[in-house]
Structure 1
């Protein structure tokens, strides 16, 4: 039987895996949606773009739903506090995502240019808005979120919606948006040919360059721009029952760099976050599109992993009441809940991976205009 402290670490890793899996799998769908109005100039070209992700996008949403469910069950205090502070931002994500199922299903039902163009831009919103907001959220986490707990552990968000849209958070949003666009561009280049592939390659290269520049700029801003991190001055017992107020947290200029100082091997993550987009851009330029997609996936692992490694053990630090910051040790569910969830994950996660792999293998290959014309009533 695993002890409580080990279960806490395991679920920190598993939530990270789910978030990276969501970014890779649903991220390329969103990236393709972001590129839809630009990679496809006429109706048939846009149908080609949509059909590269049409058969898979809803299956890839499993990663998003599972990640949200895992946070709800494994980190209930994080879930509750995040929905308090990020309420309108998360609603904006939900509203943007509404365009995706309706757009995919109804876009080509009516042969009307205005109807189809409207849904094309709806799919663009559904692909472009969520990554931007998720990036802004990460930017705010790195600065600390203004919330606090009372004696009954009821959280109160003391900031405003507009406070979330600060310059550093917006830069983090640029990192996220460019990263997802790069990923969608490499996937679109892999599944198409001709003029659509050329546009996808150009978009992937440009987005990769923006990803590198914004990622490096964000790192420098954290290091020398006056943004203080968080550090434990007194760590709670890892095996103790959760109590967010049973610790002492201080702000420190070295806060987000402490783990990298103690574990130099972690520098492989930001290095991957820089070299991955560069490799993706180089590989997609010479039409090695599958390798470019893998490089783009590794870049996402590096960028998301960089933030996760820097913040550990913090999950949601508080800028207004640092001692109330939520960490791996004090924001989790009971040992029984974590153990039961771990058992379900061990069973079902491999099944999801196997089914997804099989689906992509069956529906692999190029999508062309000729394919759309030959399957007028079955293609998206």
Structure 2
């Protein structure tokens, strides 16, 4: 009871905003290189053995890495119910596309080596490509749409409404800025996957990963800068113009929001957040140079830093907005008006403090056990293994 009183409602809201970011970044840092390797698979492996080498670098860990995705969805559902309701409705088509692509990954891993047929295995390799490239692209497209504002409304019962038919909704998601953000995401995760392959493989697979990854890194660097410039001068930001109690009720309609100005105002109000895009650019640049120079461990670490900086820059730029509405700005979801109750956030925090260290410790132990390179000799020694 004493602890409950120590953690105020507004404090817990910020804590869970941070934890949501941690979960999403954790997903990108871990499952991100899985998706990157999948998207690179048809290009870094020219023979069946080489492709099996690439697959075996992620085969034992991808399921554990995907736990971060599940935790992120669970956190949205429990800590931010309005966000869950609005986003999973508005991005239903994107979610369906992501899930359909992700389903191909476990099926591809399990069935690829069940037959010796070259056509059979090549087909599953391209399925694994889709399972890596499509989610990486769609996640970026979703972020690009969030930065522009999602066209939803809230009625008096706080029920989200989306105008337009199926075709209009789909075309609305695939706008130029969102596609640019998608390219940033895809190229960044390709670089990340290449950094992982550089660490875990040798020979031709490693060389091809370095070559492709260095190009992807340059694309990520340039497109991230272009997306930032476009955001600064071509896209309106969102501003809360009314007084919103940080510990008030979770009702977005209680606040007044204007769709005007620029998102870059956040950097004038909180100059310290500029560290995020700086880290993003520095990490991508150093990872790209590391790939070209043939460095291994440091390249992967720099790649992780770049991803951390890029994703953090989005959250910090938008704060306190989580999901702005372009159709009805006053319905925009913020940290202060779209969370669960005080008690729910407190109980969830206690659970997170107990189980998160266990998950992190187990993950660290798994990577320690699986440390080392995967070679052609390893996979050819057991040609009928799962991967």
Q: TM-score, normalised by structure 1?
A: 0.98
Secondary structure at the counterpart of residue 108 of structure 1: helix
Any residues of structure 2 matched to 1:267-306 within 5 Å, and which? 267-306=274-313
**Residues 126-145 of structure 1: matches in 2 within 5 Å?**
126-145=131-150
- Alignment counterpart, residue 179 of structure 1, candidates 176, 185, 188: 188
Note the C-alpha offset of 1:259: 2.1
CA RMSD of aligned residues (A): 0.9
2:44 — aligned with what?
39
The answer for the alignment partner of 1:308 in structure 2 is: 315
Partner Cα separation in structure 1 for residue 243 and residue 384 of structure 2:
61
Partner SS state of residue 254, structure 2: coil
Cα distance in 1 between the residues matched to 2:175 and 2:243: 30
SS in 1 for 2:213: helix
Tell me the distance in 1 between the aligned counterparts of 2:253 and 2:311: 28
Structure 1 partner of 2:237: 229
- 1:315 is paired with a residue whose SS is strand
Count of residue pairs the alignment pairs up: 378
* Aligned twin of 1:198: 207
Question: In 1, distance between residues paired with 2:147 and 2:319?
Answer: 11
- List aligned pairs for 1:1-380, cutoff 5 A: 1=4, 2-159=7-164, 160-225=169-234, 227-254=235-262, 256-378=263-385, 380=387
CA gap of 1:304–1:109, structure 2 versus 1, over 3 A, is: same
CA distance in 2, matches of 1:253, 1:289: 43
Whole-angstrom CA distance in 1 between matches of 2:136 and 2:377: 32
Matches of 1:175 and 1:365, distance apart in 2: 30
Counterpart Cα distance in 2 of 1:379 and 1:274:
38
Deviation at 1:379, TM superposition (A): 5.2
Q: Which runs of 4+ in 1 moved over 3 A?
A: none
User: Which consecutive residues of structure 1, in runs of 5 or more, have no partner in the other structure?
Assistant: none
Q: SS at the partner of 1:229? A: coil
Q: TM-score, normalised by structure 2?
A: 0.96
Unpaired runs of 5+ residues, structure 2, are none
